[in-house]
């Protein structure tokens, strides 16, 4: 392995960036991205029919009447580059978005693994699995890698100088006057220019062009603006042909959820709330927010609630864009598993998420214990929205039955104790509720009957006896 004294950068270019930023269905169709009525980028099917960049749209339509066109959206391209930068961040902590591509500083990876071609192959395979076509080249500076990309070569560090010397003047990207002046002086390639001293070169061309040549040759360097990962997840998919039903959204939704899960796994986090934004053809946006019972980080945890929720929604207009947004995450807590991995645990929270998505947020209710000594108020069945902020159980409290009657059953009146009942525990006096105009004054007993153990009380107002619940 060579001893590296200079930094090594890998510049990535995505030839189909403009197409990818505008949708996913261009692989088997003749599709073009246009800019100012000029073809900017063409799909492989369109290229086979003779439609190439810089061609007029009218000429392209004459060659292919069924051609699909869409105006270039630079904001969506930048959004996609941010997404790609997040993926590249798993290879290096120094990633920069530049020249409509990514620049990755891989010196540390080279020192660790020792084979640049293997590193390049791993990165290419990673993006190819995501179905992104990519080309790349190494360089001591990003500008050096740009030249190699333009020439269609990818030399290793020990061949950088030899390859640079063969680069033609036209490939350097100099200002037109400087490029023309150097050609008139007899310079044919970068090798001829590098033989001239820096002082002499500054006399012949602009300082800006001279510094660019210095960066291309590796003699000068400018530190790129490194990408910083965002704390929110925001990705979208646009459609060439509008979607008319929610059932057609399965594959785009699955694609976005896969990206979300990868983003969460990389950060070792989970989330319990996801937001879908559906952009409709009438320029309205339909917002769908899904709350989960527990934080999730798997495809299964997000996909089922989303699809079930969409089944309950009716859309008046077609969909031209779908967006997934996550603004709040939490640290991941792994699910408990069997010691010997004999069988998987049933995920109760996922079942509850599906029921909520299908039947509505108020479809699931649960028993709630409220800080109140009155049994008919302390034990309630409420939905998630109705849950009180303060739910506590009084510290000093006697035994309570599991089964409490919704309406107490009348037993008798004006007797010391009901017949056929034997007192086991008591008395327990409960006097409460004066503040909410529902006061009670009762004396409770635990009593044994012929069949079960009952919880009874005597109302102190009229000395009547009532059955309140049963112990099991």
What average pLDDT score do residues 125-151 get? Answer: 90
Structure tokens at 427: 């008395």
What average pLDDT score do residues 283-311 get? Answer: 88
CA distance 361 to 221: 57
Q: Torsions phi, psi of 6, nearest 5?
A: -110, 160
pLDDT of residue 395: 55
DSSP per residue, 292-330: EEEEE-SHHHHHHHHHHHHHT---SS-EEEEEEEE---E
pLDDT of residue 336: 53
Contact 451, 444 (CB under 8 A): no
Please, which residues bridge with residue 275 across strands?
A: 289, 325
pLDDT of residue 2: 45
pLDDT of residue 24: 52
Q: Torsions phi, psi of 12, nearest 5?
A: -110, 135
pLDDT of residue 390: 47
How many CB atoms neighbour CB 155 within 10 A? 16
pLDDT at 86 over 70: yes
pLDDT of residue 145: 93
Q: Which residues contact 428 (CB under 8 A, 6 or more apart)?
A: 398, 443, 444, 445
Q: Please report which confidence band the pLDDT of residue 465 belongs to, taking 50, 70 and 90 as the band edges.
A: very high
pLDDT of residue 393: 52
What average pLDDT score do residues 117-121 get? Answer: 86
Q: Please report which confidence band the pLDDT of residue 126 belongs to, taking 50, 70 and 90 as the band edges.
A: confident
What average pLDDT score do residues 14-27 get? Answer: 80
Q: The pTM is what?
A: 0.67
Q: Torsions phi, psi of 170, nearest 5?
A: -65, -20
pLDDT of residue 103: 93
DSSP per residue, 25-57: --TTS-EEEEETTEEEEE-HHHHHTT--TT-BH
pLDDT tens figures, 412-423: 998 999 988 999
pLDDT of residue 1: 43
CA distance 264 to 166: 46
Q: What is the mean pLDDT of the chain?
A: 84
pLDDT at 228 over 80: yes
* pLDDT higher at 173 or 377: 173
pLDDT tens figures, 309-353: 888 888 778 888 899 999 999 988 765 555 555 444 446 777 777
Name the DSSP class of 268: T
Contact 144, 38 (CB under 8 A): no
Dihedral, 278, 284, 285, 288 alpha carbons, nearest 10: -80
pLDDT of residue 341: 53
pLDDT at 257 over 90: yes
pLDDT at 110 over 80: no
How many CB atoms neighbour CB 242 within 10 A? 14
């Amino acid at each position: 392995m060579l001893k590296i004294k200079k930094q090594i950068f890998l510049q990535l270019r995505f030839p189909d960036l403009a197409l990818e930023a505008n949708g996913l269905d261009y692989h088997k169709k003749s599709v073009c991205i246009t800019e100012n009525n000029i073809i900017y980028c063409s799909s492989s099917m369109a290229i086979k029919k003779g439609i190439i960049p810089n061609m007029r749209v009218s000429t392209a339509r004459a060659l292919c009447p069924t051609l699909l066109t869409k105006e270039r959206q630079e904001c969506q391209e930048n959004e996609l580059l941010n997404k790609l930068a997040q993926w590249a961040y798993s290879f290096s902590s120094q990633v920069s978005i530049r020249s409509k591509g990514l620049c990755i500083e891989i010196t540390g990876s080279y020192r660790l693994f020792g084979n640049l071609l293997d590193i390049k192959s791993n990165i290419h395979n990673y993006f190819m699995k995501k179905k992104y076509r990519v080309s790349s080249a190494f360089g001591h500076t990003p500008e050096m890698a740009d030249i190699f990309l333009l020439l269609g070569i990818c030399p290793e560090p020990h061949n950088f100088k030899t390859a640079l010397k063969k680069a033609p003047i036209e490939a350097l990207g100099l200002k037109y006057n400087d490029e023309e002046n150097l050609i008139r002086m007899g310079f044919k390639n970068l090798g001829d220019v590098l033989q001239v001293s820096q002082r002499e070169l500054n006399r012949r061309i602009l300082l800006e062009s001279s510094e660019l040549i210095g960066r291309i040759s590796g003699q000068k360097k400018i530190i790129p603006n490194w990408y910083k990962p965002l704390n929110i997840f925001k990705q979208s998919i646009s459609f060439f042909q509008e979607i008319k039903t929610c059932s057609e959204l399965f594959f785009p939704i699955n694609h976005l959820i896969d990206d979300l899960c990868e983003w969460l796994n990389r950060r070792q986090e989970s989330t319990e709330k996801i937001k879908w934004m559906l952009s409709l053809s009438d320029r309205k946006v339909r917002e769908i927010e899904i709350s989960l019972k527990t934080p999730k980080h798997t495809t299964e945890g997000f996909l089922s609630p989303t699809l079930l929720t969409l089944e309950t929604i009716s859309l008046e207009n077609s969909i031209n864009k779908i967006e997934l947004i996550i603004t709040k995450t939490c640290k991941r807590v792994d699910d408990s598993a069997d010691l010997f991995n004999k069988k998987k645990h049933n995920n109760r929270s996922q079942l509850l998420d599906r029921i909520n998505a299908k039947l509505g947020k108020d479809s699931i209710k649960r028993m709630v214990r409220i800080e109140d000594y009155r049994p008919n108020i302390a034990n309630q069945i409420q939905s998630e929205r109705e849950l009180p902020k303060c739910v506590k159980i009084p510290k000093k409290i006697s035994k309570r039955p599991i089964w409490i009657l919704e309406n107490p059953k009348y037993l008798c009146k004006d007797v010391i104790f009901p017949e056929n009942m034997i007192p086991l525990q008591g008395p327990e006096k409960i006097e409460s509720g004066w503040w909410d105009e529902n006061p009670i004054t009762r004396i409770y007993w635990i009593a044994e009957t012929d069949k079960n153990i009952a919880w009874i009380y005597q109302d102190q107002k009229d000395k009547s006896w009532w059955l309140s619940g049963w112990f099991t």
